Structure 1
């Protein structure tokens, strides 16, 4: 079966889970066409991402002027359908997160996507994230393209569902994949009960390379690692405040922030303000292999997020037999269990975050080993990429 994937930017350092999903579907015999808006000139660290870039077609590689010919071609071929879809695009531009001219651009992008889908013979197209990428495949469907589906991750889709016209996107879709039960429940809020059945839970999955890594004992060094984009929703500023409390209590610790992002300067300034330069290190963007090394070199992963879907990095840490310190928001408590494979604390509570960090750092090796093994067994059970891709494959076939 021929399936197309449409993504806003692909490949991307923080979206390796999409690559895993595509490759797993290909292992199950599906032919996958990769289409993205952007990503042809992205700086990539991972060899697999570099290989994926060579397999991807880019809608905006020739700028907006490159969309003129495809738009005119679709208009000439199906004028009635084109104008009906134009009306839909204009309607989606009302009370939206972006002004109506953007939605005309989405229509032009959909024309190019439609032609590529038809040339490939795609029977279905799947998008990731319920934002503009899903609108483009929905418009392509309205223009006469194949059925579509999309995966909702959060938190952006949950922050502004009405302005993203989430209900419209779900109603027109063949099915929708949510990465957690929490995510599914949020989608239930925006569509009538008759559409609930099409909302499925399909977890993000991990490659067998993560599952197959031999157990590595937790280091004796009092090191914790936080992996993720340096941004407001991940809570790294709160993490630095918690680190300050540990320093005041004379608790020995090392904290590695693995990643980069728009808040790096602000985080570095706070580290300097509290005099924590000797204890806190920021890596910048690193490859998947380097992320794995940083996790294995730490006693646990700490992720004090304010808003999430279900972070893939938590799955990665658990697959490497490391417990997790994180907040009980969104889908996280579906995977992390307090006292069994990690620590859960209320989001935004610096004192409870610091207490969880101190407790983790004080635990003997055998306790960390037990928690790490429990983490490994739980993530293996719930987040195997081939199992989750098989679910998607069944839904794709049912929609064709």
Structure 2
């Protein structure tokens, strides 16, 4: 079996879970070819991501001329299929947030892919994220290409269901993957009951580098870590407000932000305004090894997200034996159990966040260790990349002829 993985941007710093999934599938004998319109090569700091870059074929690398030639080639070779694809393009593009012209570009990308898929005998396409990449996979199928499936992560897909034609994508897919029970329930909302059977939960996973690492004791140092893109949905600005309250109490602590993003300038301004320069550090993008080091150097990880699917970094922190402070959002409560493996607070509730952070910083290390152990056991049970890949491989084998 040879399948294609299609991702909006790949490899990417925040997509290590996709790399783990692909590698786990390959160990089961499934050949996986990687495709993406573009990558974020300038952000890649991990050797594993750089290795994936060498294996990934970039669609937009053909240039505008290549897109046009591929479009014309499909139109001439199979005009009926091309008309069907064009009709679908106009249907989903009309009224979408991206507009008709962007969807015509997706159609051209699909024409490039249908040629490549034929050359290397791809039998199935799996897309991650129900946005652009799934649109291209669906159009490729409409043009006569292989069947497709896709994984929905959220929150973006659930924020703009009509704008991304999610119901149509579900209807035409061979099967659909949700990364949590919450995600599955949201997909149920947007398809007919007769299609519910094609929706399955396959969780994102972590590998042995996290699951089987020798235990590192939780340090005495009053240190928290926040790992993730610096963006509105992760709640870092609220985290700074909470940190300001703790600092005003005279509590000594440090919070390390591991990541980068569009909100960095605003976060740095807020740090200066709140006089938190001695309490907050921003590392920028980090390798997997550096992420592990920073998590292990902390008493707990804090991620006060406003909107999520289910953050992989929570799985990573728990697997490393560190309790997690997060919010009652989407799939997070399916993994973090309050009082057992961490703390959950209402999203946007700064006072409750202050209480949870204070508790984590002041709790005896022995108690934190017990929480960390419980979290590690849960992460191993629910989010082992190898185990989850078996579930996904079973779906591929059941749906690919």
TM range (shorter): over 0.9
Alignment partner, residue 243 of structure 2: 243
Partner SS, residue 8 of structure 2: strand
Partner SS, residue 163 of structure 2: coil
Are 2:59 and 1:74 aligned?
no
Alignment partner, residue 329 of structure 2: 329
TM-fit CA distance, 1:43: 3.6
Alignment partner, residue 162 of structure 1: 162
Partner SS, residue 204 of structure 1: coil
Distance (whole Å) between structure 2 residues aligned to residue 366 and residue 18 of structure 1: 35
Q: Is the 8 A contact 1:178 1:201 kept in 2?
A: yes
Alignment partner, residue 392 of structure 1: 392
Partner SS, residue 38 of structure 1: coil
Q: Is the 8 A contact 1:40 1:61 kept in 2?
A: no
Partner deviation per Cα, 1:105-151 (whole Å, 9 max, x = no partner): 00000001111111111111100000010000000001111110000
Q: Is the 8 A contact 1:33 1:120 kept in 2?
A: no
Question: Which aligned pairs between 1:224-243 and structure 2 lie closer than 5 A?
Answer: 224-243=224-243
Alignment partner, residue 88 of structure 2: 88
Alignment partner, residue 316 of structure 1: 316
Alignment partner, residue 352 of structure 1: 352
Alignment partner, residue 217 of structure 1: 217
Describe the shift of the 1:90–1:125 C-alpha distance in structure 2 as closer, same or farther (beyond 3 A). same
TM-fit CA distance, 1:208: 1.1
Moved more, 58-67 or 123-132: 58-67
Distance (whole Å) between structure 1 residues aligned to residue 34 and residue 264 of structure 2: 32
Distance (whole Å) between structure 2 residues aligned to residue 179 and residue 279 of structure 1: 35
Partner deviation per Cα, 1:37-60 (whole Å, 9 max, x = no partner): 102743411111111111111100
Q: Is the 8 A contact 1:306 1:329 kept in 2?
A: yes
Please tell me the root mean square deviation across aligned C-alpha atoms, in Å.
Answer: 0.9
Which consecutive unaligned segments of at least 5 residues does structure 1 have?
Answer: none
Alignment partner, residue 42 of structure 2: 42
Alignment partner, residue 177 of structure 1: 177
Q: Is the 8 A contact 1:71 1:108 kept in 2?
A: yes
Alignment partner, residue 197 of structure 1: 197
Moved more, 55-64 or 162-171: 55-64
Which consecutive unaligned segments of at least 5 residues does structure 2 have?
Answer: none
Distance (whole Å) between structure 2 residues aligned to residue 352 and residue 346 of structure 1: 7
Partner deviation per Cα, 1:53-84 (whole Å, 9 max, x = no partner): 11111100132222112111111111011011
Q: Is the 8 A contact 2:232 2:263 kept in 1?
A: yes
Give the aligned length.
400
Q: Is the 8 A contact 1:235 1:306 kept in 2?
A: yes
Q: Is the 8 A contact 2:12 2:41 kept in 1?
A: no
Describe the shift of the 1:43–1:347 C-alpha distance in structure 2 as closer, same or farther (beyond 3 A). closer
Q: Is the 8 A contact 2:11 2:41 kept in 1?
A: no
Distance (whole Å) between structure 2 residues aligned to residue 299 and residue 224 of structure 1: 6
Distance (whole Å) between structure 2 residues aligned to residue 92 and residue 364 of structure 1: 55
Partner SS, residue 42 of structure 1: helix
Moved more, 55-64 or 227-236: 55-64
Partner SS, residue 214 of structure 1: coil
Q: Is the 8 A contact 1:256 1:280 kept in 2?
A: yes
Alignment partner, residue 7 of structure 2: 7
Distance (whole Å) between structure 2 residues aligned to residue 222 and residue 307 of structure 1: 27
TM-score by length of 2: 0.99
TM-fit CA distance, 1:302: 0.1
Partner SS, residue 206 of structure 2: coil
TM-fit CA distance, 1:355: 0.5
Moved more, 41-50 or 384-393: 41-50
TM-fit CA distance, 1:250: 1.0
Distance (whole Å) between structure 2 residues aligned to residue 353 and residue 43 of structure 1: 31
Alignment partner, residue 256 of structure 1: 256
Describe the shift of the 1:389–1:85 C-alpha distance in structure 2 as closer, same or farther (beyond 3 A). same
Are 2:289 and 1:289 aligned?
yes
